[in-house]
Amino acid sequence: MLYREAGQFKASYEEDQQIFPIRQDRVGMAVLLAFFFLAVPMFASQYWLQAILIPVLIFSLAAIGLNILTGYAGQLSLGSAAFMAVGAFGAYNFMLRIDGMPFLLGIVLGGLSAALVGVAFGLPSLRIKGFYLAVATLAAQFFIVWALVKFPWFSNYSSSGVISAQEIQILGYAFTTPESKYLLTLAVVTVFALVAKNLVRSTTGRRWMAVRDMDVAAEVIGIRPMRAKLSAFAVSSFYCGVAGALYAYTYLGTVEPEGFNLDLSFKILFMIIIGGVGSILGSFLGAAFIVLLPILLNVVMHSTLGSAMPPGLGSNLELIIFGGLIIFFLIVEPHGLARLWQLGKDKLRLWPFPH
């Protein structure tokens, strides 16, 4: 009854093209934003902000990045973490070596460095497809991490390759508390999520999807597969790069190249599979799911088994559950949580008179 589009007529194409064409969705989004921007920083504990909300937001951004490449443009990548690393180390070096570099410009430059590297490793996609490309992105994964370790310039000659993020300052205000870091992360992620949504609903997005769905037909109607793929690689790596910079600056504070390993790349891939391939909303849902699951698992096991828990069982159980869920989702709901959400909304539209 409450969730209806009946009576909401679109009188112009402009209205028809809105991100949320149904009024209730727009209201819901506004409430959600107000909640996360106003209520959460006031009431959430430091633990929730620092250990859950900030990483969820950052991984959402990385997942959007991978979703642009894999979900929209159809190019599988196993190197997302490496592009995050480029973003983190890029932003670090820009801020370290250029005096007075503004923070936001720094992370954007970090993202752009990642975009450049992404395009370089995306070049093979012009000739190869599918899992061949996946192997090419593995090359990026291993090579980039190796390069960041082997060339100490990247970590400013720190002995262990670890970099410590500089203090974040914007217009003289220092972001030191978890609340301020959370708000900063939230703001950046919100803006980039909106940008991503704009991209995928415009010609750029349609070109990506056309190449994904049928590249020969795309070429016949005048799309250049090369440009479409490389632009997807660039935008995707840019997003991963910005996410990596935030990972270093607002989440961990100190990072090392090996932290951006293949496991992290897989995690981001799992986020989009579980959240929803080809969905911006799904990127958020997937990130929240993958970050929260191990925490939840830990809590459950400690409360049931207590100290009797055998060592390693937790991490093995995590592997089993992740692996099982991936297979489950691919078989049962290949469009992930986002699709379930959509189905729920469709039901709600008809409720309480389903026939």
Question: Contacts with other proteins in 62-101 (CB under 8 A)?
Answer: 74, 76
Closest CB 345 distance from other proteins, rounded Å: 15
DSSP assigned state of 6: T
Which of residues 203 and 304 has its CB atom nearest to other proteins in the complex? 203
Q: What tokens were used for 152?
A: 């100490």
CA angle centred on 67, ends 64 and 70, rounded to 5°: 155
For residues 60 and 188, is the Cβ–Cβ distance under 8 A?
no
Q: Can you tell me the distance from the alpha carbon of 52 to that of 288, in angstroms, rounded to the nearest whole number?
A: 8
Is the Cβ of residue 50 or residue 77 nearer to other proteins in the bound state?
77
Q: Does 214 interact with other proteins (rule: CB under 8 A)?
A: yes
C-beta closer to other proteins: residue 13 or 353: 13
The runs of H, that is alpha helices, within 123-255 are 130-150, 178-200, 203-213, 215-220, 225-246
CB of 183 or CB of 235, closer to other proteins: 235
Smallest separation (angstroms) from other proteins to the CB of 351: 21
**Touching other proteins, residues 19-48 (CB under 8 A):** none
Q: Is 58 exposed, middle or buried (0-12, 13-18, 19+ CB in 10 A)?
A: buried
Report if residue 316 touches other proteins, rule: CB under 8 A: yes
Nearer to other proteins, 95 or 277 (CB): 277
Binding of residue 160 to other proteins (CB under 8 A): no
Per-position x/- string for 98-137, each x denoting binding to other proteins as judged by CB under 8 A, each - no binding: --------------------------x--xx-xxx-xxx-
Rank residues 58 and 210 by Cβ distance to other proteins and give the closer one.
210
| CB 235, CB 75: distance < 8 Å | no
Question: Between the CA of residue 114 and those of 52, 61, 242, what are the distances in Å?
Answer: 25, 14, 8
| Cα(165)–Cα(89) distance, integer angstroms | 9
Bridge partners, residue 277, by sequence:
none
327 binds other proteins (CB under 8 A): yes
Residue list 237-276, contact with other proteins (CB under 8 A):
262, 266, 269-270, 273
- In the shown chain, the binding pattern of residues 1 to 20 toward other proteins, with x for contact by CB under 8 A and - for none, equals -----------xxx-xx---
